[in-house]
Amino acid sequence: MTSSWGDAHDGWPYDHAVTSDQPSDQRDHWVRTFAAKQDFLGSEPSETGRAALSAFLAASAREIVELGSGQGRDSLLFATAGLKVTALDYAETGLAQIREKAQSAGFGGSVTTVVADVREPLPLATAAVDGVYAHMLLCMALSTEQIVSLVAEVHRVLRPGGFFFYTVRNTSDAHFGAGSAHGDDQFEMGGFIVHFFGRELIERLADGFKILEVADFEEGRLPRRLSAVTMARI
Ligand SMILES: C[S@@+](CC[C@H](N)C(=O)[O-])C[C@H]1O[C@@H](n2cnc3c(N)ncnc32)[C@H](O)[C@@H]1O
């Protein structure tokens, strides 16, 4: 199914990306990009975030985690809707902007920021949250094995019945197969490495979950072609 979930005005990738001397150092690249440009991925919440919020509210979720929260366009949406949000990312520059925005909007008490690399076990308690949200995080520079381990960690931190809502760029994206190849369906352009997902990988990640929906959509000017996956923890 293809549906348009809106048209963010950002150009990611690449027209606002900071040129990096070390394109393989993805963390530094994000840190520098967020320091150089406020609202790199748009100042408004994403359509994906709005869809996830409806699902979280319908399920009476109260505490959620956003993995790869960037500069917080969706973390702030969740907080303003009354959810307690943990925003986790390895780019401290983006997290600092999230704290500032949350405080100036009067929601500082609803947002906790955590600096962490999702290639390591998540620094979160077991069965601690009602929902996990990750918009374009699993499709970053992560190997298939790292993605499988991360989703096992998501399963651990979710309460039974909790939702895991994630989006990934998929193999119908115009940039799949373009730029420098890094193996394992990862390609680099403009200093950013993207892992493009096919349906098989989405199915593989459903171990311990029930897939509720997989919906293809487009975002941004390229446009990026993505799949949004909603799963419930069993
Ligand atoms: C494409 S951006 C998406 C940001 C945000 N979800 C949004 O849509 O506005 C990817 C985010 O993932 C973060 N990220 C990438 N790899 C990561 C890793 N290994 N650990 C933690 N965060 C990571 C980046 O710093 C960046 O904030």
Range of the domain at 105: 2-233
Assign residue 154 the CATH number of its domain. Answer: 3.40.50.150
Q: How far is the CA of 83 from the centre of ligand 1 (A)?
A: 21
The yes-or-no verdict on residue 21 having pLDDT over 60 is no
Mean pLDDT of 173-178: 95
Q: Is the pTM of this model over 0.75?
A: yes
Q: Which residues pair with 6 in a beta bridge?
A: none
Specify burial of residue 126 (Cβ count, 10 A radius: 0-12, 13-18, 19+): exposed
User: By the 8 A CB rule, do 194 and 139 touch?
Assistant: yes
Closest ligand 1 atom to Cα of 141: 16
Confidence of residue 23 (pLDDT cuts 50, 70, 90): very low
User: By the 8 A CB rule, do 169 and 142 touch?
Assistant: no
Number of domains the chain contains:
1
The yes-or-no verdict on residue 107 having pLDDT over 70 is yes
Give the pLDDT confidence score for residue 7 in this predicted structure: 33
Q: How far is the CA of 26 from the centre of ligand 1 (A)?
A: 10
Give the pLDDT confidence score for residue 9 in this predicted structure: 41
Taking Cα atoms as reference points, which of 130, 199, 135 lies closest to residue 167? 135
